[in-house]
Amino acid sequence: MMSGKDTEILIKRLQTAGIDEGDARFEVRDLLEAASSEEELESFMRRRESGEPCSYITGFRYFYKDRFHVIPGVLIPRNDTETAVETALAYAGQCDFPVGELSLIPHMESQGNEVSVIDLCCGSGCIGISVANELLRRGINISRLVLADISPEALRCASQNVSDVLIRPDIAEVVRLDVLDDRAQIGGLFDMVLTNPPYINDEDMENLPGDVSGYEPSLALRGGKDGLMFYPAIANLSKRILRDGGALIAEHGYDQRKDIETVFAASGFGDIVCVKDPGGNDRVSFGRYYAG
């Protein structure tokens, strides 16, 4: 059993490696949880000190209320992305504290106490699975959950999280989908489209921290010259697969709010609301689509 003093020494080591104290404390907790021996812990510490992300070392990341598998080649879930989960819950009328912009999210029109959800560019599946799990915990029936991505690593990781994290694995489908292909097809209609697509522009891609640029997949980060390459395609696909009055909920960069609002409005979405993340940055945009 490691003493509090020993734990503080590990935290100081990560701080010396350039990790701020708050993150270092969470990472030491996860490294201790994952290590099966002192020797393995020391190996983990050296890997982290060299810049390898903690979640790739441990193989997991806590997100919202669950622990998700994470593998190299798949984007590591961020705390800011939990804003997308809260936005979806607000739309379903299941947000406990709808403060700020969340209070402006309209409620979903009833579909007989059943909700269908698709998570585009799903990565680990953390957004879609978190929304489904929370609704299931609250007695809302999920009729269908689709997790879609183009990356083989993401599809493999999402499938593992369906098996090990999703409360009802039987409701889920994990499918390969290229959202930039205007011929992309998904059968059926959904109440919610959730997405956290790549949105970092080409200039910012050249200035990412080393533990991101050196390890996390460019495929999940690079959003083209202006960072907006995926949003028009996702909006157009969403129009084809949403029920009348269904919602598109999309994460984006802190400085992309106006551009996303323009994309949503040009694609026929209304009731547009931008929700800030816990740091006060514009992070998730909501829009509802009415055909005709």
Q: What is the predicted pLDDT for the residue at 1?
A: 54
Domain contains 73 = no
Q: Is residue 21 located within the same domain as residue 151?
A: no
Q: Is residue 21 located within the same domain as residue 119?
A: no
Q: Is residue 92 located within the same domain as residue 235?
A: yes
Domain contains 230 = yes
- CATH number, domain at 183? 3.40.50.150
Structure pTM? 0.96
What percent of the chain lies above the pLDDT cut of 70?
A: 98
Give 35-54 pLDDT, tens digit per residue.
999 999 999 999 999 999 99
**pLDDT average, residue stretch 137-147:** 96
Domain contains 63 = no
Q: Is residue 38 located within the same domain as residue 100?
A: no
Nearest to 285 by CA among 45, 259, 13: 259
Q: What is the predicted pLDDT for the residue at 104?
A: 97
Q: Is residue 142 located within the same domain as residue 189?
A: yes
CA distance 120 to 195: 5
Give 87-133 pLDDT, tens digit per residue.
999 999 999 889 999 999 999 986 667 899 999 999 999 999 999 99
SS (H, E, C) 166-215: CCCHHHEEEEECCCCCCCCCCCCCEEEEEECCCCECHHHHCCCCHHHHCC
Domain contains 234 = yes
Domain contains 69 = no
Q: Is residue 116 located within the same domain as residue 163?
A: yes
**pLDDT average, residue stretch 150-167:** 98
Q: How far out from the chain centre does Cα 136 lie?
A: 19
Domain contains 66 = no
Residue 19: domain span:
4-58
Is residue 4 predicted with pLDDT exceeding 80?
Answer: no
**Dihedral pair phi/psi, residue 172, rounded to 5°:** -100, 145
CA distance 22 to 200: 25
Q: Is residue 205 located within the same domain as residue 235?
A: yes
Residue that the structure tokens 């909501």 belong to: 286
What percent of the chain lies above the pLDDT cut of 90?
A: 93
| Average predicted confidence (pLDDT) for the chain | 95
